[in-house]
Structure 1
Amino acid sequence: MSSLQALQNGSDIRGIAISHEEFTANLTIKEAQEIASGIVKWLKEEKRVTHTPLRIAIGHDSRLSANDIKEGLIEAFLKEDVVVLDSELATTPAMFMATQFDSFKADCGIMITASHLPYYYNGIKIFSELGGAEHEDIEFILENTHVFNESKPNQGKLEKKEIISLYSEDMVKKIQKATGETKPLTGFHIVLDAGNGAGGFFADKVLQQLGANTSGSQFLDPNGNFPNHMPNPDNKEAMESIKEAVLRNNADLGVIFDTDVDRAAVVDKSGQVINRNNLIAVLAHIVLEDSKGQTIVTNSPTSSHLKDFIEALGGKQVRYLCGYRNVINKAIELNVKGIETPLAIETSGHAAFKENYFLDDGAYVIAKILMLLPKLKKENKSLGDLIEELKQPAEAQEVRFKLSGPGYRNYGNSVITDLAEFVNEVDGFTVDPENEEGIRVNVRETYGSGWFLLRMSLHEPLLVLQVENDIAGKNRLVFEKLNEFFQTKERLNTEKLIEVLKK
């Protein structure tokens, strides 16, 4: 595997952009220059080009290394017959929309981001007008690069073309159309936490334009050091920060984005955190309110209670593989088969609506919630009221096991296979057949009432174990029983499990 191929991270490119302690930078100007040549070849050979000359829009979030990577991409694109549209600070969904907006007409949108990862990481997300690049597209790009030729004369053209204002205007119009009001958020106090990422624009360019009071909003200024908390709606510290801001300001709603705004979560006026299963439940309520019988695709580690909640609303849940492209592609596949599937969503907060190009767009998720607020206010309800029937587990824990040695993925899968045999011998454990990733087991009797899931990590040499129970104290019995099995696996590091058992 070449050094460039090692940068593949599923359907994205990701690496170390700033050398840090034991990490040496492997995604710098040089690598960006070479990657640019692969992008051009991919666009041309895959017939993703609709304009002559080729038009490529580039945006980035607040990361410290963004300008270096952008400079490398631009330098290489200008050696080709490419019009480069420098969109500067932007978001991932906005860079996809650069391929859709008539005023941009980009053949390709590129977002420089590494989502919520530490500051020394960075990455590249790539879009054509058909959607985000797939795993095989990134493989093609990284396998078809060439060394940057500095002496080659420039043939392209560089333009500055900001996109966030256009993206915001489009979002505002969609919310106004859905609510039938010019200022539907008048009287609402909404606090935004952008985590010093790229989402600070949403306060003045969207919320205020719709009439909301956004006083008390925090961490709106871009800062790639992320000095306050990691911009991650799946992070407890981040969610506690926005919860405190909502309660401190007596706000009606709190909104939080990740760095590049393809994920979001909210907090209602009571301080209830609405992310993970709760967020899926709210969005399920929205899409199923007027259209029963539809299907929602999620990733595998969702609560069993969520399935019951969705079915009670008249819908169906398909639990699929982790990875936002996986759940999106599954939803697209179901729609092609004639199974109406309006929503694909991961517990991490990646959510994509069929009506919105199946784009994982955190701002659009918030837009769907904002469209609902005036109606809820008239009914004297809050977002939390929508999911009061969603039962919450008494215990929910996760343990990660590091895998050692070569061929870790094959070994991890063999552990999962062996666990199935172990489960069959345990009274109170039953394999759940409605599962497509790893092994999911329902627990009962001695072990309480709940479930556990063991699956391979998408990108790391890890097995991930998630355990939920409706009876406090019973998770420990599940862990103790599973420990009997895990201790027989020599290449499995069980330190984290032992730590749980010692508590």
Structure 2
Amino acid sequence: MDNRFTQVITSEGIRYPVERGLHCSDVISLARAYGDMISPEGDKEFVIGYDTRLSSASLSEAVSIGLRSGGHHVTHIGLSSTPMMRWYAAEHGYVGAIMITGGGAPIGYNGFKLYRERAIALGRDSGLDEIAASALPPFYSVLTCTPELRYAAPLPDYAAVIRSYSRTFSPIKIALDVGNGVGGLDTSAVFSHLHNVRIWELNFEPDGSFPNRSPDPRHPQALQNLGQCVVTNGCRFGAAFDGDADDLVVVDENGSALEPERLGALLAQFLLDQHPGGAVVHHPDLRPDILASISAAGGRPIAAKNSSTAAIQITMQNEDALFGMNDQGKYFYGDLYGIDNALRTIIELINGLTENEHPLSSIAANLKSGSV
């Protein structure tokens, strides 16, 4: 069945222009249909987070009403990066989670990323079409709208978990550009306790109007200031987040962006040095030279069905994989429920580079040998 939602589904969620987009009743209907798919009998626990976009806080209230109209219980964590929201949902056993975010889309857009148990993403081929097709307002219910709202503040615990992966005390200089998205909150909480890391902070103040660059770090000119900062201050590398801080672009010491696949292979080799023989999940059209570098490092490459977050994460969990990657700047970690996590990626890059005297550009260029 075709409705307003089926026209705005992407491979990772639902995204639409706010000014010409969905009404509040549509959003309530979407959340209700999602809750009904997870558990039509109600009485399940869901978590809701949102990014810095100007409409996100309001949309979170509509999502809450939709879920509670189905008799479910909702915990709000407020302003959050997508990786932190997913970690919290998986860590505390929620049956589902919704992140209100436009990701890297232009300023006038917003949307939703939906997850089931263990924070597994719902994609176009894994439940999202079904939810969209059944989101037909208005919903009338014999269930009582759950009156209680719950709130949680997972940032301190989440930051401690991410910090725990740091295994070096060697000094390093890096530059980070969070693009006025939500990523400055958890990034500051993590690195305020890692005193060996000196950070040049760019655009850390959350601002949903995104005044300094596109929320998509792959957008032309988005990396210009970051690259200049890295070169001027002699940083080992720089990194830029998207609006909800799950996508990542890295530039080397020359300010040049690394290809996502090449960065993924480099991270895989760093991790395989610590965990030999681990499985590495990748999108199905990974280049042969990148595949060869993973195998040469002792990894077991495993192709997912496609490059979506849902497909990579499900394959990660099914294969008990060490690491995963796609071609869009997402890097997944088996010991974080198979969730993609940009902050963890920065930590692993720091770990690897402080153990290697060569510049990042040289290390990345010599991946083919499988030795970094």
Is the TM value for this pair above 0.5? yes
1:246 counterpart residue number: 230
2:122 counterpart residue number: 133
Going from structure 1 to structure 2, the CA distance change for 1:240 and 1:301 (only over 3 Å counts) comes to farther
Distance 2:364 2:126 in 1: 39
2:311 counterpart residue number: 326
Alignment of 1:172-211 (within 5 A): 172-175=163-166, 179=167, 184=169, 187-211=171-195
**1:361 matched to 2:341:** yes
**1:280 matched to 2:264:** yes
Going from structure 1 to structure 2, the CA distance change for 1:373 and 1:44 (only over 3 Å counts) comes to same
Alignment of 1:450-461 (within 5 A): none
2:101 pairs with one of 113, 123, 126 = 113
1:200-229: per-residue Cα shift (whole Å, max 9, x none)?
124421112111455531111122222222
Contact residue 87 and residue 161 of structure 1 kept, 8 A: yes
2:203 pairs with one of 211, 219, 236 = 219
- Could you tell me how far 1:348 is from its partner in structure 2? 1.1
- Could you tell me how far 1:11 is from its partner in structure 2? 4.8
2:146 pairs with one of 128, 149, 155 = 155
Contact residue 233 and residue 349 of structure 1 kept, 8 A: no
Alignment of 1:365-376 (within 5 A): 365-376=345-356
Distance 1:173 1:355 in 2: 12
1:413 counterpart residue number: none
TM-score (norm 2): 0.85
Contact residue 203 and residue 212 of structure 2 kept, 8 A: yes
Distance 1:203 1:330 in 2: 28
User: What residue identity is the alignment partner of 1:168?
Assistant: A
1:458 counterpart residue number: none
> 3-state DSSP class of the match of 2:94?
coil
Distance 1:151 1:69 in 2: 24
> 3-state DSSP class of the match of 1:34?
helix
**1:383 matched to 2:350:** no
1:166 pairs with one of 146, 157, 170 = 157
User: What residue identity is the alignment partner of 1:2?
Assistant: N
User: What residue identity is the alignment partner of 1:325?
Assistant: A
Distance 1:257 1:61 in 2: 13
User: What residue identity is the alignment partner of 2:116?
Assistant: S
Going from structure 1 to structure 2, the CA distance change for 1:218 and 1:368 (only over 3 Å counts) comes to same
**1:4 matched to 2:2:** no
User: What residue identity is the alignment partner of 2:11?
Assistant: G
Distance 2:117 2:160 in 1: 20
Contact residue 263 and residue 362 of structure 1 kept, 8 A: yes
2:253 counterpart residue number: 269
> 3-state DSSP class of the match of 1:387?
helix
Largest Rg, 1 or 2: 1
Contact residue 66 and residue 112 of structure 1 kept, 8 A: yes
2:327 counterpart residue number: 347
Distance 1:152 1:324 in 2: 33
User: What residue identity is the alignment partner of 1:204?
Assistant: S
Distance 2:315 2:188 in 1: 36
User: What residue identity is the alignment partner of 1:224?
Assistant: G
1:232-264: per-residue Cα shift (whole Å, max 9, x none)?
343452233322111122223322211112122
Going from structure 1 to structure 2, the CA distance change for 1:291 and 1:160 (only over 3 Å counts) comes to closer
Contact residue 301 and residue 347 of structure 1 kept, 8 A: no
User: What residue identity is the alignment partner of 2:308?
Assistant: G
Contact residue 217 and residue 249 of structure 2 kept, 8 A: yes
User: What residue identity is the alignment partner of 1:205?
Assistant: A
1:305 pairs with one of 289, 300, 311 = 289
Going from structure 1 to structure 2, the CA distance change for 1:152 and 1:328 (only over 3 Å counts) comes to closer
Going from structure 1 to structure 2, the CA distance change for 1:70 and 1:266 (only over 3 Å counts) comes to same
**1:41 matched to 2:36:** yes
Going from structure 1 to structure 2, the CA distance change for 1:390 and 1:5 (only over 3 Å counts) comes to same
- Could you tell me how far 1:301 is from its partner in structure 2? 5.3
1:32 pairs with one of 13, 27, 35 = 27
1:103-144: per-residue Cα shift (whole Å, max 9, x none)?
xx5332210112101112211112233322243322232233
Q: Which runs of 5+ in 2 are unaligned?
A: none
Going from structure 1 to structure 2, the CA distance change for 1:139 and 1:226 (only over 3 Å counts) comes to same
> 3-state DSSP class of the match of 2:64?
helix
* Identical aligned residues as a percent: 21
Distance 1:365 1:383 in 2: 14
Contact residue 265 and residue 279 of structure 1 kept, 8 A: no
Distance 1:390 1:164 in 2: 35
1:79 counterpart residue number: 69
1:396-426: per-residue Cα shift (whole Å, max 9, x none)?
xxxxxxxxxxxxxxxxxxxxxxxxxxxxxxx
Distance 2:90 2:308 in 1: 24
1:383-406: per-residue Cα shift (whole Å, max 9, x none)?
334323147xxxxxxxxxxxxxxx
- Could you tell me how far 1:273 is from its partner in structure 2? 2.9
Highest relative contact order (Cα 8 Å, sep 6+), 1 or 2? Answer: 2
**1:93 matched to 2:93:** no
Distance 1:213 1:296 in 2: 28
Distance 1:352 1:143 in 2: 30
Going from structure 1 to structure 2, the CA distance change for 1:188 and 1:136 (only over 3 Å counts) comes to closer
Count of residues in correspondence between the two structures: 363
Alignment of 1:45-64 (within 5 A): 45=40, 53-64=43-54
> 3-state DSSP class of the match of 1:344?
strand
Q: CA RMSD for the aligned pairs?
A: 3.0
User: What residue identity is the alignment partner of 2:111?
Assistant: G
> 3-state DSSP class of the match of 1:15?
strand
1:336-366: per-residue Cα shift (whole Å, max 9, x none)?
xxxx743221121112122221112222222
- Could you tell me how far 1:279 is from its partner in structure 2? 0.8
